[in-house]
């Protein structure tokens, strides 16, 4: 069965430290998508990135970077020089095809606390 594991339930670092959030997935599909979403304390869910299974290039967006490795079924997220505003719960998700429709399978989230 499709599955997303975020083993780190909570991470706490001091501002300006780098931090990596881990995401490991399981899927039978050859074509799939992986996602990261951010949920700040205000509660909304903010889309950060989508990566398809054929594109293993790392992506960088400002202080955020993502490392996708099919060999280890991982899609890790790194924040460089963390800031207090990065404090949030971060969710990793995997697309799943169900009866020709598509759904997302979600990890339980990693709560990231950035201390000033």
Which residues, in sequence order, are CB contacts of 4 under 8 Å at separation 6+? Answer: 23, 24, 25, 26, 92, 93, 94, 105, 106, 107
Min. distance of Cβ 45 from another protein in angstroms?
Answer: 4
Q: Which is nearer to another protein, 85 or 99 (CB)?
A: 99
Kindly state whether residue 108 participates in binding another protein, applying the rule CB under 8 A. Answer: yes
Q: Where are the alpha helices (DSSP H) in 1-116?
A: none
8 A C-beta contact, residue 22 and residue 34: no
Q: Binding residue for another protein (CB under 8 A) from 7, 47, 56, 60? A: 47
**Sites of contact with another protein (CB under 8 A):** 4, 9, 33, 35, 37, 43-47, 50, 91, 95, 99, 101-104, 106-109
């Amino acid at each position: 069965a499709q599955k997303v594991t975020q083993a780190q339930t909570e991470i706490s670092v001091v501002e300006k430290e780098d931090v990596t959030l881990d995401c490991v997935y399981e899927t039978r599909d050859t074509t799939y998508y992986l996602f990261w979403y951010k949920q700040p304390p205000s509660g909304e869910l903010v889309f950060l990135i989508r990566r398809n299974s054929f594109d293993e290039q790392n992506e960088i967006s400002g202080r955020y970077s993502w490392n996708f490795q099919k060999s280890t079924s991982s899609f890790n997220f790194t924040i460089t020089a963390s800031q207090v505003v990065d404090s949030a719960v971060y969710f990793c998700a995997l697309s799943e095809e169900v009866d020709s429709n598509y759904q997302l399978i979600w990890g339980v989230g990693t709560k990231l606390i950035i201390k000033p």
